[in-house]
């Protein structure tokens, strides 16, 4: 793990400026540290030689000047670092959001992780940039500068420092590696013991129900105690790292002091030089200790940056196609031999699927969980491209069409539609921000939302809260339907529109869905075969393709798909083609 990720330098201009400013501050600060030591040594030396304030006055005043200089530098460096951090976070955040929103259709879990990373996660860069990096610069500059000055004053002291300094990072690395190995060995145990309390608290209602709540209190203590033993075992080694650092740093200063003292005693050195060496010796080790103390800040900052780059370096899904396409009220869909395998999976979820939906006709797509219903919808939405086979709309290959122009002809009602933190009207007008109030009112009526909107305090102007928290699941589903009505689409795609809704809401959504399908091409993906009542035909997906008719006549799947999924239900045959 590098202390400064070069990708961070490349990714955010603000970081490059910051590193330059930090390095300049570091050089200036090093100079002031040396100056202060020189001044203090000379004032004490001078006073010992009998000089008074009249002679030493300028030197003493210079100490005040150095104090002010160091304060201004410390203030300026930190303020500038925090400004750079704010800007660097902003630059990374914007790039991540642009990158991620470009490839929709990924899991909500990923969205949650990215949201956390781009807010609290990136805040780790504050400490990293404002407190860790400047210390790292000082840790590189100060010891060398001190060594040079001390060497010019007293080479023996310089040797003591020069020998002990490199030992510190060496021993720390050794201890660190040993700690890591030991922690890794105990990782599962530590994880399990550490997670026990959360597990037990989460499961408290269950424990109470089985009258185990009281007995479990003793277990909480025992497991926490076991966790303490295991943790202390690891800490005993982990703390050795700081022990080595403190020991070597202090011991070196003590050795320098004694050595300088004896040289002074035998007249090989003057007091001012001895004091200069004594004051500077601890300064050589201080930045190293500070860097060690900020180790965690650095780890968090680096981890945040690495997560950010992991996202930014993921390839962007190419959305090919530029051909224009225009609305014509309905669409002729032709899906031929389509195969799709999710990234990281071995078996294709769609495996040679063929299906045709004639203009103005609707199909219920059913099948077990994981049969590929939702995948087919996301291919139709161009959230992903099939690895083999073709999808044609009105005879044109979908991948040749401009994605936005194609999606403008489609309305999609997912299983869990996302409502945005805005008004009901904003949410309905998602795809048509310029829609007039009559158009929105018509969509509200068509989606069966009129009563719901009337009951809201500000009607259509009521804010729905984050993720539409103010509305029930059924109401959110109908807002999504109103969205679809307002879009007046050629193709309607619905994904489990009523799963997990109570019967009252399910009925309202169903009625609105039937209205939405009138005269348009539509596909409903649902478990429930009951939807077949409002679609023109039903198609069963199994093994990644359209399965033969239920209770069928032995027609092989290939043949069924060959005739474009004319599936079971007697009425389907004539209607779909």
Residues 238-267 close enough to bind another protein by CB under 8 A = 239-240, 242-248, 250-255, 257-258, 260-262, 264-265, 267
Q: Whole-number minimum distance, CB 509 to another protein, in Å?
A: 9
Going by C-alpha positions, the residue among 321, 356, 352 that lies closest to residue 335 is 356
Q: Is 282 in the site for another protein (CB under 8 A)?
A: yes
391/339 Cα distance (integer angstroms): 11
Q: Whole-number minimum distance, CB 131 to another protein, in Å?
A: 9
Burial class from Cβ neighbours inside 10 Å (0-12, 13-18, 19+) for residue 303 reads middle
Q: Whole-number minimum distance, CB 104 to another protein, in Å?
A: 4
Partners of 323 in the β-ladder: 401
Instruction: Look up residue 546 and give its two tokens.
Output: 């359209």
Q: Whole-number minimum distance, CB 239 to another protein, in Å?
A: 5
What totals of helices (H) and strands (E) does the chain contain, helices first? 20, 10
- Contact between residue 380 and residue 393 where contact means Cβ atoms under 8 Å apart: no
Residues 506-565 close enough to bind another protein by CB under 8 A = 506-507, 510, 526-533
Q: What share of the chain is helix, strand, coil (3-state, %, to 5)?
A: 65, 10, 25
- Contact between residue 479 and residue 518 where contact means Cβ atoms under 8 Å apart: no
Residues 292-321 close enough to bind another protein by CB under 8 A = none
Q: Whole-number minimum distance, CB 282 to another protein, in Å?
A: 7
Residues 469-508 close enough to bind another protein by CB under 8 A = 472-473, 480, 483, 487, 498, 500, 502-507
Q: Whole-number minimum distance, CB 337 to another protein, in Å?
A: 25
336/389 Cα distance (integer angstroms): 6
Stretch that binds another protein, among 135-143, 172-180, 226-234, 540-548 (CB under 8 A): 226-234
Residue closer to another protein, measured from CB, 410 or 460: 410
Residues 102-161 close enough to bind another protein by CB under 8 A = 102-106, 108, 111-112, 114-115, 118-119
Residues 63-102 close enough to bind another protein by CB under 8 A = 63-64, 66-68, 70-83, 85-87, 89-90, 93-94, 97-98, 100-102
Backbone phi, psi, residue 505, to 5°:
-70, -40
Residues 385-444 close enough to bind another protein by CB under 8 A = 404, 407-408, 410-412, 414, 417-418, 420-421, 430-431, 433
Residue closer to another protein, measured from CB, 398 or 506: 506
Q: Whole-number minimum distance, CB 386 to another protein, in Å?
A: 18
Question: Dihedral through CA 281, CA 282, CA 286, CA 292, nearest 10?
Answer: 100
Residues 175-214 close enough to bind another protein by CB under 8 A = 192, 195-214
Containing H/E element for 495? strand 491-495
19/458 Cα distance (integer angstroms): 52
Instruction: Look up residue 478 and give its two tokens.
Output: 């109908």
């Amino acid at each position: 793990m590098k202390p400064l990720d070069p990708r961070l330098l490349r990714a955010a201009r603000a970081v490059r400026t910051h590193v330059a400013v930090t390095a300049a501050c570091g050089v200036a600060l090093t100079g002031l540290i040396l100056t202060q030591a020189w001044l203090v040594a000379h004032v004490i030396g001078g006073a010992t030689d009998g000089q008074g304030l009249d002679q030493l006055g300028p030197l003493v005043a210079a100490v005040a000047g150095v104090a002010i200089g160091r304060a201004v530098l410390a203030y300026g460096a930190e303020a500038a670092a925090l400004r750079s951090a704010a800007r660097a976070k902003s630059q990374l955040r914007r790039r991540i959001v642009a990158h991620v929103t470009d490839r929709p259709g990924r899991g909500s879990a990923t969205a949650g992780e990215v949201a956390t990373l781009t807010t609290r996660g990136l805040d780790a860069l504050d400490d990293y940039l404002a407190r860790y990096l400047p210390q790292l610069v000082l840790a590189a500059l100060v010891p060398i500068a001190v060594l040079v000055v001390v060497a010019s004053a007293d080479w023996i002291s310089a040797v003591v420092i020069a020998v002990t300094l490199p030992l510190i990072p060496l021993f720390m690395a050794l201890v660190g590696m040993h700690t890591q190995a030991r922690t890794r060995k105990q990782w599962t145990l530590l994880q399990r013991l550490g997670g026990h309390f959360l597990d037990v608290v989460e499961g408290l209602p269950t424990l109470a129900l089985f009258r185990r709540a009281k007995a479990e209190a003793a277990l909480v203590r025992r497991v926490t105690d076991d966790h303490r033993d295991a943790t202390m075992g690891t800490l005993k080694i982990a703390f050795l790292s700081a022990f080595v650092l403190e020991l070597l740093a202090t011991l070196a200063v003590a050795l320098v002091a004694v050595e300088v003292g004896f040289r002074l005693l035998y007249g090989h050195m003057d007091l001012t030089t001895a004091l200069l060496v004594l004051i500077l010796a601890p300064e050589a080790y201080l930045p190293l200790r500070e860097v060690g103390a900020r180790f965690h800040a650095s780890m968090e900052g680096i981890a945040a940056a690495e997560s950010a780059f992991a996202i930014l370096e993921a390839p962007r899904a190419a959305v090919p196609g530029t051909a224009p396409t225009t609305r014509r009220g309905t669409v002729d869909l032709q899906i031929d031999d389509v195969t799709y395998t999710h990234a990281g999976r071995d078996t294709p979820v769609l495996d040679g699927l063929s299906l045709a939906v004639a203009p103005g006709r609707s199909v219920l797509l059913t099948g077990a969980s994981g049969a590929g219903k939702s995948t087919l919808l996301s291919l139709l939405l161009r959230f992903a491209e099939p690895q083999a086979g073709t999808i044609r709309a009105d005879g044109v290959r979908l991948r040749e069409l401009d994605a936005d122009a194609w999606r403008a002809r489609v309305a999609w009602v997912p299983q869990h539609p996302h409502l945005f933190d805005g008004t009901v009207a904003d949410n309905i007008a998602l795809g048509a921000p310029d829609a007039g109030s009559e158009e929105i009112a018509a969509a509200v009526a068509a989606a069966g939302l009129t009563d719901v909107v009337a009951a809201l305090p500000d009607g259509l102007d009521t804010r729905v809260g984050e993720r539409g928290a103010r509305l029930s699941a059924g109401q959110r589903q109908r807002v999504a339907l109103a969205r679809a009505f307002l879009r007046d689409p050629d193709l309607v795609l619905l994904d489990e529109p009523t799963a997990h809704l109570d019967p009252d809401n399910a009925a309202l959504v169903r009625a609105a869905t039937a209205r939405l399908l009138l005269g348009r091409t539509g596909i409903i993906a649902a478990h429930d075969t009951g939807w077949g009542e409002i679609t023109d035909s039903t198609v069963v997906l199994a093994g990644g393709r359209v399965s033969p008719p239920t209770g069928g006549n032995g027609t092989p799947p290939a043949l069924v798909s060959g005739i474009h999924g004319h599936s079971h239900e007697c009425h389907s045959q004539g209607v779909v083609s």
